[in-house]
Structure 1
């Protein structure tokens, strides 16, 4: 809800239908595995251990730190995506961290590259995909297929290379005028 309000306000200041350079989604896809690595270390308590207490880390992650500690206590060894469910009886609720822990950083990189390739050059689609990836870093959205269907359809609409109907109409009108003028000159 807050993100939707942010986009509405942003649309007043910035044209959301504008394009961005192709390298920006690519670089963002490269950054997410790195962020996932450091966020996982943070949630495990391996990063900033002297500055953050266990209680505040538990509150910050809303209990997800505890679930991650279950993996450590049971000496988890992954045998594929979703394998932790068999060990602890529940999902981690941090999709990118779970993907990193179960199948590795290369899988997170491949996943990010594939999904950010969908964005193409659309600024709005890029913002939406970045929001979804931030959500997958801190919570769970992969098991919700309806949500992803709506997100991917929205991104596909905005990332399409087709021009708007109005632009297409004016371009076609200009072409027909040029064609008409060339016919008149030829006569």
Structure 2
């Protein structure tokens, strides 16, 4: 029996995300990270890119083309800036290669998927990501976690939950964002929403509720002008500076006044890592090089870009990523959440997290399928015509 090119592409995709979920849930969450697993995961991504490109040779790759090109150009610029700074300030070049590699394969794999599969097929792939992510979460937490005592101990205001997961919060909200837009299957949409509640990252929980009710109040398919998107990107850069300034020791009293909490506790220790980098006398030496100083990442991605690649690197990466969301309001809201996450947390380097994000952006801005162009059945709104590019 002849196996089609597309089935092989699907198998590679499925195996890569299975290894990611299994690795996070079984190994990394328990303090282990076999190097062979890491090599296998990213090796499958590279294989998926090569195979997908080969199997669709001769086909016009037009979906999500300019967005992919912008990000690749941005990463090339970051690479050149990083190499220059590394030479000047004695940075670790291997870290630079590792970081840029992760960023590039995420957008390239999403680009190949968007141009290899129909929207209906991508919907199935996203269902698979959600299923294996739930399986990985169960591996991390164990099935005996579902007790009344654990449910009653959940506190949103104290950010306390035995169900919380740092490893599966990203895939849960990324899948939720996709299925909140394409509400073809009510069961799948509800499960994606509940998965976000279980992984219990407060910003993600709030955002999931926003996605749930947003169509009641606004037209989520509204097209936004490029000028407004550009202003949003500049606001993101400005917000990064303000956040960085607030986290400096001399301004900690402002954090306490605004939140009633210390900067260290409010940022869950991230501000202490930032201060350790600053006190070390670190000089910008390229993306990923501050790790060599404190032997851990800062876990505030936009601030890290600023410290490691200067203001130029920060502006380049913010512009490229925000414009990758296109001009549909729903996608831009989703990107705003991602930028907030990158400002206060980490994950921008996580290729497995950004592949479904880019896929969602590409689908919203380019894909059309009458079977998925439905209204919002979870809210029981009146059907209305959906407009797509």
- The alignment's TM-score, normalised by the length of structure 2, stands at 0.40
**Pair 106,151 (structure 1): closer, same or farther in 2 beyond 3 Å:** same
1:30 has 2:234 as partner: yes
2:344 to 133, 138, 144: 138
1:67 and 2:266 aligned:
no
Q: Is the 8 A contact 2:240 2:343 kept in 1?
A: yes
* 1:127 aligned onto 2:333: yes
Q: Which moved more, 1:88-97 or 1:137-146?
A: 137-146
**Structure-2 residue corresponding to 1:179:** none
Cα deviation, residue 52, structure 1: 3.2
Query: 2:262 & 2:231 partners in 1: Cα distance?
Result: 32
CA contact (8 A) 2:255 2:263 kept: no
Matched, 1:77 2:280: no
Q: For residue 245 of structure 2, what is the aligned residue in structure 1? A: 41
Distance 2:360 2:254 in 1: 43
**1:122, CA displacement in angstroms?**
0.4
In the alignment, what sits opposite 1:107? 313
1:43/1:61 contact within 8 Å kept:
no
Question: Runs of 5+ in structure 2 lacking a partner?
Answer: 1-195, 197-204, 372-389
**1:68 shift after superposition:** 1.1
1:19-50 deviations in Å (ceiling 9; x for gaps): 12222211111111111111111112343646
Contact map agreement 1:95 1:140 (CA 8 A) in 2? yes
Q: Deviation of residue 51 (structure 1)?
A: 6.9
Aligned-partner SS, 1:119:
coil
Counterpart of 2:357 (choices 151, 158, 161) is 151
CA distance in 2, matches of 1:67, 1:5: 32
User: RMSD of the alignment, in Å?
Assistant: 2.2
Residues 118, 159 of structure 1: 8 Å contact kept: no
Secondary structure of 2:251's match? coil
Single out whichever of 91-100 and 64-73 deviates more from structure 2.
64-73
How many equivalent pairs are there?
165
- Please name the residue that 2:296 is paired with: 90
Q: Deviations over 1:50-76 (max 9, x none)?
A: 6738x7111111111110111122111
- TM-score, normalization: structure 1? 0.80
Assess, with a 3 A threshold, how the Cα gap between structure 1 residues 73 and 4 changes in structure 2: closer, same or farther. Answer: same
Unpaired runs of 5+ residues, structure 1, are 167-187
**Structure 1 residues 51 and 111, CA gap change in structure 2 (3 angstroms):** closer
Q: Secondary structure at the match of 1:17?
A: coil
My pick for the range that moved more, 8-17 or 91-100, is 8-17
